[in-house]
Amino acid sequence: MSQTRCFQVHPADNVATALDDLAPGQVQVLGASAGTAVVAAEEIQLGHKIALRRIEEGEAIVKFGVPIGIATTAIAPGAWVHLHNCRSQVDERSSHLDLKTGAALDTAYA
């Protein structure tokens, strides 16, 4: 099987988007840091974010060259970056969403 890939949009980004379902192991980085690699620490689904370097608790999650969220805990290189370890800067409910579906946990659905 060929190497799995992720895409870094901007050189300042500390995350990249998975272009394949990622398994633990070497992942080729395309885009702004083309030719480099990161080691996925866990399974990460297609379209989700992978940390390109260590991100400290309280540090901005940067994608597209702009902050898109805040780390709620330290995030290791190669870790999945999602609702369980980051939050929105503008929506307090973002830390109360279902990890898999993104559905609000404080809303009753019929």
For the chain, domain boundaries: 4-96
62, 68 Cβ separation under 8 angstroms: yes
Q: Does the domain formed by 4-96 have CATH 2.60.40.10?
A: no
CA Rg value for the chain: 14
Percentage of the residues of the chain whose pLDDT score is greater than 90: 71
Please report the sign of the dihedral spanned by the C-alpha atoms of residue 5, residue 9, residue 13, residue 17: negative
Other beta carbons within 10 angstroms of residue 82's beta carbon come to 16
Whether residue 109 is predicted with pLDDT greater than 90 in this model: the reply is no
Question: What does the pLDDT look like over 27-73, one tens digit per residue?
Answer: 999 999 988 999 999 999 999 999 999 999 999 999 999 999 999 99
pLDDT above 70 for 106:
no
